[in-house]
Amino acid sequence: MATGQIFSRNTQALFYNYKQLPIQRMLDFDFLCGRETPSVAGIINPGSEGFQKLFFGQEEIAIPVHSMIEAACSAHPTADVFINFASFRSAAASSMSALKQPTIRVVAIIAEGVPESDTKQLIAYARANNKVLIGPATVGGIQAGAFKIGDTAGTIDNIIQCKLYRPGSVGFVSKSGGMSNELYNTIARVTDGIYEGIAIGGDVFPGSTLSDHVLRFNNIPQVKMMVVLGELGGRDEYSLVEALKEGKVHKPVVAWVSGTCARLFKSEVQFGHAGAKSGGELESAQAKNQALREAGAVVPTSYEAFETAIKETFEKLVPYCASILSVILIDAILCIGEDWLILVEEGKIAPVPEVEPPQIPEDLKSAIKSGKVRAPTHIISTISDDRGDEPCYAGVPMSTIIQRGYGVGDVISLLWFKRSLPRYCTQFIEICVMLCADHGPCVSGAHNTIVTARAGKDLVSSLVSGLLTIGPRFGGAIDDAARYFKDACDRGLTPYEFVEGMKKKGIRVPGIGHRIKSRDNRDKRVQLLQQYAHTHFPSVKYMEYAVQVEAYTLSKANNLVLNVDGAIGSLFLDLLAGSGMFSKQEIDEIVEIGYLNGLFVLARSIGLIGHTFDQKRLKQPLYRHPWEDVLYTK
């Protein structure tokens, strides 16, 4: 594996299995480092295609989403890192697919618990094809000031504190992602910072080893020393011991193997990682630390002394380190002295000028939560709330609606009128819905729906084509009937004055008249509604007025009967007024807005849906109107 640098400021990655937070953290790191292009070239989300909106600094960008690994690699040939956030169940298959792509050089597997047999196959394929495998069970890696994988190094605040927005001189490798964050901070305090850091993962069989990365760091000129954090269990550290003994590593190595406390326990202890379990004396932390020390690595006596060992090793590379680390500006460096400039010229170590990282814009959601900003809302809702454990209709939890046996009428009363109406009111609403659900296939709405369904259109298209016919001439006269009946009744107009006044204005009386029904063939629906109201309503003032108007219109023509629109309109006025739960202003507003026509729309949708299903079930062909039913004329 050796070779050298695997990341740069131009590195781009493909991100498998969309996760918003780690991708946004990568993009925020890019902006912090002053990259010109985002490090995430594309997202692979099986079954999805399109774009995902994210932020690159203050700019909102659209990152392409692909459903297949092959398609993503083809679309983004310069993206050579594959970051796999798949679950342990599918991580192996998707990682192998990525390794087989010629454009992919590095694969990072985040998931824990990938079957060991699958991991061994991935390792064998990666080594045979000169590819780099990081993980499984890894947080990833980072090249300071250039590129990072997913959640590596944690939050932006931590990254700034660890000075990872610009390169230092230390190469770091660890098994633990969590301890990597700790060491990034430690290294930043006592050296000029990290150049590259890798967490190989805590599984028994990591895709790449500690020694793989140390040997790679050895070939990177910018890396002046290495820091290694191992752990008890396994024998990975011994490959580093052999490399040190064979003289393959020419730069200082400071190492510590954690887990020395395991000897305090009487029985074998399994620590956090799958591989963190000592299988014998050679796999103990003490044995590994001793072997590394004898091979030439700088190994402290305890973890507490690890920071001091790193500091002292770095200071030997930089004799004037104490002065250097206090210098921020380039021109100040020139004042340190000739000895430092000589070290720079000899290439032992280069000064790292401090730069002020740009401010990452805070997301609006977090800024609002912290009270830093206030933002206006874009929608107001008073009828329902889905923010809690369960949805609420007008403040009534869904569980309460079910437990109390509420019906459709009760739900309508909550969502439309924002209050629980008495049972006789909600039952009347349900009766209206049932009586208006359908009126046969010949009415205009049903006819339109049938024709549309037979044209092969979908349910919504067929339903909407029927609903669009609802208006003043078909089912949409309930509000007008209520409005005119209420105005006339409240003003004390006689039926004669009302009807003749409407005639003078050239307005048909809404709610009066039917194409089929007449004095001798009354609409049964109207009779049922009137019977219910007489039995349950405390007052039927408006309905009685509508009946008086009907008596006058029938004296003019036999078919000018009170139709279902007029019956519902007048009775709903009685419901609103008689319930005692609505003010006069609220009643006027309900009529004006169009609540009552809403009842017909809701009810007739049931029938129109039924006609759609009926035509599709019967497999009816495209409808063509017969010639003989058309009058062709000039």
Distance separating alpha carbons of residues 393 and 407, to the nearest angstrom:
13
Distant-in-sequence, close-in-space partners of 227: CB < 8 Å, separation ≥ 6 = 170, 171, 172, 173, 183, 187, 253, 254, 255, 310
Residue 330 has pLDDT above 80, yes or no: no
- Contact at 8 Å (CB) between 171 and 80? no
- Contact at 8 Å (CB) between 52 and 43? yes
Beta bridge partners of 82: 14, 107
Residue 335 has pLDDT above 80, yes or no: no
Query: If you classify domain 444-618 with CATH, what class do you get?
Result: mainly alpha
> Catalytic residue positions?
273
Q: How far apart are the first and last CA of the chain?
A: 89
Query: What is the average pLDDT value for the chain, to the nearest integer?
Result: 91
Calculate mean pLDDT across residues 375-381: 88
SS3 518: strand
Reported pTM: 0.69
Give pLDDT tens digits for 165-224.
999 999 999 998 889 999 999 999 999 999 999 999 988 899 999 999 999 999 999 999
Q: pLDDT value at position 327?
A: 41
- Contact at 8 Å (CB) between 83 and 140? yes
CA-closest candidate to residue 508, choices 470, 553, 547, 543: 553
Residue 16 has pLDDT above 50, yes or no: yes
What is 12-262+270-316's CATH topology?
Rossmann fold (3.40.50)
CA 4 and chain centroid, separation: 38
Give pLDDT tens digits for 151-174.
999 999 999 999 999 999 999 999
Which of the residue ranges 225-239, 312-326, 538-552 would you say has the lowest mean pLDDT? 312-326
Residue 539 has pLDDT above 50, yes or no: yes
CA-closest candidate to residue 184, choices 230, 122, 121, 142: 142
Give pLDDT tens digits for 579-630.
999 999 999 999 999 898 999 999 999 999 999 999 999 999 999 999 999 9
CA-closest candidate to residue 8, choices 101, 99, 95, 106: 106
- Per-domain residue ranges for the chain? 12-262+270-316, 384-436, 444-618
Two tokens, residue 315: 């200071």
Residue 346 has pLDDT above 70, yes or no: no
Distance separating alpha carbons of residues 530 and 79, to the nearest angstrom:
74
Identical topology for domains 12-262+270-316 and 444-618: no
Q: pLDDT value at position 266?
A: 57
Distance separating alpha carbons of residues 447 and 441, to the nearest angstrom:
6
Q: pLDDT value at position 345?
A: 46
